[in-house]
Amino acid sequence: MVICMADKRIIQAVENVLKQSKKRKFSESVELSINLKDIDLSIPKNRIDDEIILPKGRGKDIKIVVFGSGELALKAKAVANLVIQPEELESIAKDKREARKMVNAHDFFIAEAPMMPEIGKTLGIILGPRGKMPKPIPPQADPAPMITNLKKTIRLRSKERRTFHAPIGTRNMSVDELVENIETVLNRLESKLERGRQNIASVFVKTTMGPAVRVI
């Protein structure tokens, strides 16, 4: 079953979540808690690992690192949060504590294609387990379009767990924006599951510190 636009259940769930969650001094994230059923996630091909561009964005700043040189590095400085050039890579990789802090502080990584092998050797042990290996980009390319899309992107990743979470926005977004993002995620999730909707046991929506409300 494909979720219809403006599904009343989703609208009502989002409205209830926003009403029931107290106003905070910070903008809480809004996320889905997804519970799967009748699927063996010990088999890697059954696991969910997908990236989704949210039509209404994530409602907050997403931090991007670019590994690059020359013209690409110059272009990246205007749009990325951090640019790492080839001559800086070795010194960053030597300090594993600082490297981990850098990786944890950023959401997505882009790398000039020729740098990918060296990044794999020096930082792969940190980036890989976190699902943050860089996306390659050709030398001299303009990274701005990729960065624009990544700032609206979430990663839907179950690993071997039947229950996992997906951010779909923040509390300062409108009900309509959150609903459209949720519909996009659920439609993509159904398309990735062998039995579609029948593999979903339940879905809840909640704010960071607020109560959970069932969507499905």
Phi, psi of 84 (to 5 degrees): -115, 120
Domain ranges for the chain: 8-59+155-214, 64-150
pLDDT value of residue 201: 97
Stated as kind and residue range, the H or E segment containing 163 is strand 163-170
Q: Supply the mean pLDDT for the chain.
A: 93
Closest CA to 188 of 49, 59, 11: 49
pLDDT value of residue 177: 97
- Percent of the chain whose predicted confidence (pLDDT) is above 90: 88
Model confidence band, residue 3 (pLDDT cutoffs 50, 70, 90): very low
pLDDT tens digits along 118-148: 999 999 999 999 989 999 999 989 999 999 9
- Percent of the chain whose predicted confidence (pLDDT) is above 70: 97
Q: Which two tokens stand for residue 85?
A: 């050039």
Q: Are the folds of 8-59+155-214 and 64-150 the same?
A: no
pLDDT tens digits along 75-109: 999 999 999 999 999 899 999 999 999 999 999 99
Distance CA 37, CA 117 (A): 38
- Does CATH number 3.30.190.20 belong to domain 8-59+155-214? yes
pTM over 0.85: yes
Closest CA to 15 of 182, 184, 193, 200: 182
Contact 202, 86 (CB under 8 A): no
Pick among 3.30.70.520, 1.10.3470.10, 3.40.50.790, 3.30.1130.10: CATH of 64-150: 3.40.50.790
pLDDT beyond 90 at 22: no
